[in-house]
Amino acid sequence: MADSLPTEFDVIIIGTGLPESILAAACSRSGQRVLHVDSRSYYGGNWASFTFSGLLSWLKECEQDSEAGDRSAGAWQNLIQDTEEAIALRRKDDTIQHVEVFCYASEDTGDSAEEIDVLQKNPSLVASSTLTKPLDSACLSKETHSDSTSPEMPAKDTPQHDGEILPEVADREETQVKETDCGEKTCIHTVSDGAKDENKPVVEDNTGQPKRNRITYSQIVKEGRRFNIDLVSKLLYSQGSLIDLLIKSNVSRYAEFKNVTRILAFREGKVEQVPCSRADVFNSKELTMVEKRMLMKFLTFCLDYEQHPGEYQDFTQRPFSEYLKTQKLTPNLQHFILHSIAMTEPSCLTVDGLKATKHFLQCLGRYGNTPFLFPLYGQGEIPQCFCRMCAVFGGIYCLRHRVQCLVVDKESGRCEAVIDHFGQRIRAKYFIVEDSYLSEDTCAGVQYEQISRAVLITDQSVLKADSDQQISMLTVPPAEPGARAVRVAELCSSTMTCMKDTYLVHLTCSSASTAREDLEPVVQKLFTPYAETEIDEGDPPKPRLLWALYFNMRDSSGVSRSSYHGLPSNVYVCSGPDCGLGNEHAVKLAETLFQQIFPGEDFCPPPPNPEDIIFDGDDKQPEAPGTNTLIVAKLESSEGSQNLDSPGQHLQN
């Protein structure tokens, strides 16, 4: 019950995204009393990961949020005293827009009703059709939760947020077809395989290509718990600030990682592997011997480019792409360096391009042949790891716990308390709020950027290899000047993010329009919809697209505090996910806010050795951090390098 919560804390944090979770861990570790709440039923906010059925439930929530307006303030206004004023918080989440779902996989009607697609396929529908009530055909059972105000601790055994939700079949006769505007509503599109031949085996050509497994939508639903689908696509630089923080704070014991196995490039309509290490360069069949020497010479220069300013002094204010043209590099090498190593836009300044290239090279070899790591079970594991650390040091967690308003003292101008949806007043010294919770009045002067996202389920990799367990990073350059490059991350089943014989593909770019308009051209270049027959028998078949989700996500990372209206000095704002590949912005934001609140305090120091802890009195000694039932597999380092190619590996210095 609500009265089980203490009425006073040092820090109240609203939202469980990555920056807020890092701050919660840092505050709790420094001895502060922390209350960490979220109105959602899952950890992570827009940093979360979902199983497939959990994602369908999330889509339903997005639709309901877009249709439901802010309700009246209600009884909590009567709790505000004459010497106080209230800053109302937002009741709905409008950070996700333009949601569109496409199902290309055929449906196996022989399965039971509970296993059949929530998107009812109808041969009369075409790809442009949308359902009047997109998700009403899914009868979603309610999630069984513990009491919403009881202190919660993230459970390692249940990191995913599917909520035990199973889609059921609705009567097809009730389905209506209508063209709708998908500005803020969830649009479900189905693609026909032809009239009444959905259950026929897929005919494969006999041109020497290996036979491809037939994946039906009901299989995806049945194996839905094997999916862990990230709302935001990120990778961890092996020499990045998040890896350093995970190791320093010992939070890495709660997560497992795999090394990204290859970096890819898209050039002249084909996907190629980019050589990263010295061995890769000299073993590459894509480069001539002259190109190999050119590439190694330039990369060696980039590692200590600051020592040779004369080499690039004339290009400090000119694009990196222009500088590359003067370095006796072939167009092939220029493309590799610009888009797959530096991973910058063509308009990026030369100094920034050299810095990005150096960072890429410095990250090689620490854990594998590429600079990147990916957390098993998805990016959503990382916020939960920091929440777990906060809970270990006494932090209290409440999901499905809405904060109605901030209570501000008129005389001092400082925030003194919050009032939750039970009407309970909880006092604190400092308040940290995720941007999406701030009201429209508070954010009236804020200009937000947008991120275009697509999540695809495919039946094979964009570039075949000897092993089908490849984790790939691909950058597709802009098709025309002024457009933005599209970042593609392809995950295999060994990352615990998708079922066997499928791949989970994430596409990300800065928004120029809706996510579908921004990303669909790239999807069409790389994949073939499952319902279409392969026509060109001369080229290897493209991966087949089984299911696709497009949506736009708000990017609040560039918003300064001064843009918000009327916030007290002891209220701090955390931004949502940014469009960058790494997590550097989130870590820097968390550390900056922590130092502003507690100057001089150590940010996320290592936990004490259990043997050094002295307990007063006869109180029972609590379980030491990391000594629970989690099995920690330590890495054996070899010549300063650690291999994360197999599951169950944890980070070490």
CB 101 within 8 A of CB 117: no
Domain assignment of residue 626, yes or no: no
Alpha-carbon gap, residue 407 to 214, rounded angstroms: 58
What CATH number should be reported for the domain holding residue 49? 3.50.50.60
Of the pLDDT bands very low, low, confident and very high (cuts 50, 70, 90), residue 3 is: low
Can you give the residue range of the structural domain that contains 397?
8-66+73-93+377-446+557-597
Alpha-carbon gap, residue 502 to 199, rounded angstroms: 20
- Beta-carbon neighbour count of residue 94 at 10 Å? 13
Of the pLDDT bands very low, low, confident and very high (cuts 50, 70, 90), residue 146 is: very low
Domain assignment of residue 582, yes or no: yes
Of the pLDDT bands very low, low, confident and very high (cuts 50, 70, 90), residue 515 is: very high
Of the pLDDT bands very low, low, confident and very high (cuts 50, 70, 90), residue 445 is: confident
Domain assignment of residue 352, yes or no: no
Mean pLDDT across the stretch 511-527? 96
- Beta-carbon neighbour count of residue 309 at 10 Å? 10
Beta 34-38 vs 449-458: how paired, if at all? unpaired
* φ, ψ of residue 387 in degrees (nearest 5): -60, -40
372, β-bridge pairs: 237
Number of folded domains that form the chain: 1
Please give the structure tokens belonging to residue 525: 């270049």
CB 420 within 8 A of CB 426: yes
What is the pLDDT of the chain when averaged over all its residues? 80
Domain assignment of residue 221, yes or no: no
Domain assignment of residue 427, yes or no: yes
Lowest mean pLDDT among 90-99, 172-181, 483-492, 640-649: 172-181
* φ, ψ of residue 554 in degrees (nearest 5): -65, 140
pLDDT for position 537: 53
CA nearest to 336, candidates 397, 381, 388, 294? 294
Domain assignment of residue 288, yes or no: no
pLDDT digits (tens, 9 = 90+) for 284-340: 877 888 988 899 999 999 999 999 988 898 898 999 999 999 998 999 899 999 999
Residue identified by tokens 């597999």 is: 633
CA nearest to 131, candidates 103, 112, 167? 103
pLDDT digits (tens, 9 = 90+) for 581-609: 999 999 999 999 999 999 999 999 988 87
Please give the structure tokens belonging to residue 80: 């505000």
pLDDT for residue 131 is more than 50? no
- Comparing 243 with 134, the larger pLDDT belongs to 243
Of the pLDDT bands very low, low, confident and very high (cuts 50, 70, 90), residue 467 is: confident
Share of the chain above pLDDT 70, in %: 74
pLDDT for residue 370 is more than 60? yes
Taking each helix axis from N to C terminus, what angle separates 18-29 and 584-597, rounded to the nearest 10 degrees? 40
pLDDT for position 88: 93
Share of the chain above pLDDT 90, in %: 58
Helix/strand/coil (H, E, C) string of 303-347? HCHHHCHHHCHHHCCCEHHHHHHCCCCCHHHHHHHHHHHCCCCCC
pLDDT for position 640: 40
Residue identified by tokens 């964009």 is: 462
pLDDT for position 176: 34
Alpha-carbon gap, residue 640 to 653, rounded angstroms: 9
Collapse the DSSP code of 379 into the 3-class scheme (helix H, G, I; strand E, B; otherwise coil) and give the result: coil
pLDDT for position 540: 63
CB 10 within 8 A of CB 428: yes
Of the pLDDT bands very low, low, confident and very high (cuts 50, 70, 90), residue 117 is: very low
Lowest mean pLDDT among 257-261, 268-272, 434-438: 268-272
pLDDT for position 162: 44
pLDDT for position 210: 54
CB 274 within 8 A of CB 284: no
Residues 3/5/9/15 CA torsion (nearest 10 deg): -120
Domain assignment of residue 228, yes or no: no
Q: Is 645 left (phi over 0), alpha (psi -120 to 50) or beta?
A: alpha
Q: Name the amino acid, one letter, at 392.
A: V
pLDDT for position 369: 87
Collapse the DSSP code of 350 into the 3-class scheme (helix H, G, I; strand E, B; otherwise coil) and give the result: helix
Domain assignment of residue 23, yes or no: yes
pLDDT digits (tens, 9 = 90+) for 271-297: 999 888 777 787 787 788 898 889 999
Q: Which helix (H) or strand (E) holds 491?
A: strand 486-491
pLDDT for position 91: 84
pLDDT digits (tens, 9 = 90+) for 61-107: 888 765 554 444 557 788 888 899 999 999 888 999 999 999 998 87
pLDDT digits (tens, 9 = 90+) for 554-564: 999 999 999 99
pLDDT for position 66: 57
Alpha helices in 470-555 (DSSP H): 515-526
Alpha-carbon gap, residue 311 to 301, rounded angstroms: 10
426, β-bridge pairs: 418
Alpha-carbon gap, residue 27 to 17, rounded angstroms: 15
CA nearest to 579, candidates 561, 560, 559, 553? 553
